[in-house]
Amino acid sequence: MSAPLLSLRAVSKNFGGLAVISDVSFDVPQGSRTALIGPNGAGKTTLFNLISGVFAPSEGEIRLDGQAIDGLPSRSRIGLGIARSFQNIRLMPHLSVVENVMLGQQARAGSLAGMLTPLSLFGRSRWRREAEDLLDRMGLSTYPGEVVATLPYGIRKKIEVVRALVAKPKILLLDEPAAGLNDTETANLRDFLMTISQTGVTLLVVEHDMSLVRSLCDHAVVLNFGRKIYDGSTRSVQDDPAVLEAYLGTRQAGKARTQEADHVA
Partner 1 sequence: MSGYWAGILSILAINVIFAYGIFLPVATGQLNLGGAGFQALGAYTAAYLSAMFDLPVPVTVGVGMVVAGVVGFLIAFPILRTRGVYLVLATFAFAEVVAGTILNSETLGGAMGMSVPAFIDWDVPVIVAACVTLFVFYLMSTRFGLTMRATHDDEVVTDLMGVNIRMVQVSAFAIGGALAGLAGGLYAHSFSFVEIQSFNALVSIYVLLYVLLGGTQTAWGPLAGAAFFTLLPELLRTVLPQVKSFLAALVGIEGPVGPPDDSWRFVILGALTIAMMVLRPEGLITRTMLERLRFRRPSPSKEQVA
Binding site for partner 1 (CB under 8 A): 52-54, 74-79, 84, 86, 90, 92-96, 99, 102-104, 106-107, 109-110, 114-121, 127, 145-147, 150, 163, 167
Q: Which is nearer to partner 1, 140 or 212 (CB)?
A: 140
The closest alpha carbon to 93, from 141, 48, 140, 160, belongs to 160
Q: How far is the CB of 162 from partner 1 (least distance, A)?
A: 13
Residues 64 and 172: beta-carbon distance below 8 Å:
no
Least distance between partner 1 and beta carbon 181 (Å): 21
Which CB atom, from 114 or from 232, has the smaller least distance to partner 1? 114
Least Cβ distance, residue 75 to partner 1 (angstroms): 5
Closer Cβ to partner 1, 160 or 207, answer by number: 160
How near is the Cβ of 79 to partner 1 at its closest, in Å?
Answer: 6
Q: Work out the angle at residue 223's Cα, subtended by the Cα atoms of residues 220 and 229, and round it to the nearest 5 degrees.
A: 80
Contact residues for 161 (Cβ-Cβ < 8 A; gap 6+) = 85, 138, 172, 174, 177, 192, 193, 196
Cβ distance to partner 1 smaller for residue 75 or 255: 75
Task: Give the separation between CA 174 and CA 101, rounded to whole angstroms.
Answer: 16
Least Å from the CB of residue 159 to partner 1: 13
Instruction: Choose between 100 and 186: whose C-beta lies nearer to partner 1.
Output: 100
Q: Sheet harboring 59-64: ordered strands across?
A: 18-29, 4-15, 59-64, 67-68
Phi, psi (degrees; rounded to nearest 5) at 200: 100, 0
Closest CB to partner 1 among residues 25, 45: 45
| Bridge-based pairing state of the strands 171-175 and 202-206 | parallel
Exposed, middle or buried by CB within 10 Å (0-12, 13-18, 19+), for 118?
exposed
CB 173, min distance to partner 1, A: 10
Run of H or E including 223: strand 219-224
